[in-house]
Amino acid sequence: AQSVAQPEDQVNVAEGNPLTVKCTYSVSGNPYLFWYVQYPNRGLQFLLKYITGDNLVKGSYGFEAEFNKSQTSFHLKKPSALVSDSALYFCAVRDGNSGYALNFGKGTSLLVTP
Amino acid sequence: DAGITQSPRHKVTETGTPVTLRCHQTENHRYMYWYRQDPGHGLRLIHYSYGVKDTDKGEVSDGYSVSRSKTEDFLLTLESATSSQTSVYFCAIRGSGTENQPQHFGDGTRLSIL
């Protein structure tokens, strides 16, 4: 089965510092990976995806993610964190079955302090 | 934002009562999904639909049924609600054409079963 793991429940970063939210994957075949963000009382918003091609993927709101095949990782990054980036972040992998549904990690809560 | 409306947004009900949640889309997308979100579990797939009257089970389908009589509406029914079904429920949609399109999510229904 296709799965992802987010090893950190919470990440704390000072505003202006770079941030990294970690994700590792376990798949058979080529991985199709996604990052979503969730603000309180809202649905998930799509940030970026990796399908194939460049290992550095750029997405919305200044976020990017680095795909590393040898480490089976897909970490989310941003060079300079904002307080408004504080939210819940989910990594997901496309399931080859189930209508190409997504299998999600447990989520990582990002707190950016002023 | 993708045109997805979930109703109701909040509901409190009692164990043993039937509950129906509605997902309405204005995008004419083929694929629709129901997920539940629980702390420590991320989002898990309940059921999905790949067209009118075409539905199938996901990872956590026990105790749930779905129906899709029109492209725009996907209903999730709890025939006899239990306290373990207290959760936040999200509907998602995805266009066809390429299976690598990201899913877009509604704002969720917070369901409490007492």
Among the partner-chain residues B43, B104, B106, the one whose CB lies closest to the CB of A104 is: B43
Q: How confident is the model at residue B98 (pLDDT cuts 50, 70, 90)?
A: low
Q: What is the spatial distance between Cα B104 and Cα A42, in angstroms, rounded to a whole number?
A: 12
Averaged pLDDT for residues B80-108: 90
Q: What is the spatial distance between Cα B67 and Cα A55, in angstroms, rounded to a whole number?
A: 40
pLDDT computed for residue B48 by the predictor: 96
Interface of B with A (CB under 8 A): 4, 31, 33, 40-45, 48-50, 56, 58-59, 90, 92, 94, 99-100, 102-108
pLDDT digits (tens, 9 = 90+) for B29-88: 999 999 999 988 999 999 999 999 999 999 999 999 999 999 999 999 999 999 999 999
- The answer to whether the CB of B105 falls within 8 A of the CB of B33 is no
Q: What is the spatial distance between Cα B41 and Cα A73, in angstroms, rounded to a whole number?
A: 20
B-chain CB neighbours of A2 within 8 Å are: none
Alpha-carbon distance values, B44 to A20, A41, A104, B48 (Å): 24, 18, 7, 11
pLDDT computed for residue B102 by the predictor: 87
A-chain CB neighbours of B105 within 8 Å are: 36, 43-45
Question: Considering only CA atoms, which of A112, A114, A47, A113 is closest in space to residue A86?
Answer: A112
Q: What is the spatial distance between Cα A25 and Cα A40, in angstroms, rounded to a whole number?
A: 26
- The answer to whether the CB of A101 falls within 8 A of the CB of B48 is yes
The CA distance from A37 to the nearest CA of chain B, in Å, is: 11
Q: What is the spatial distance between Cα A30 and Cα A50, in angstroms, rounded to a whole number?
A: 10
Whether omega for the bond prior to residue A7 falls within 30 degrees of 0, making it cis, is: no
Averaged pLDDT for residues B11-40: 95
- The answer to whether the CB of A50 falls within 8 A of the CB of A57 is yes
Q: Per-residue pLDDT for B20 more than 70?
A: yes
What residues of chain A, 26 to 55, have a C-beta less than 8 Å from chain B?
Answer: 32, 34, 36, 41-46, 49, 51
Nearest residue of chain A to residue B49 (CA atoms)? A99
- Residue pLDDT tens, chain A, 114 long: 799 999 999 999 999 999 999 999 999 888 999 999 999 888 999 999 998 888 999 999 999 999 999 999 999 999 999 999 999 999 999 987 888 899 999 999 999 999
SS3 state at A98: helix
Q: Per-residue pLDDT for B99 more than 70?
A: no
pLDDT computed for residue B55 by the predictor: 96
pLDDT computed for residue B87 by the predictor: 97
Type of residue numbered B46: I
A-chain CB neighbours of B90 within 8 Å are: 43-44
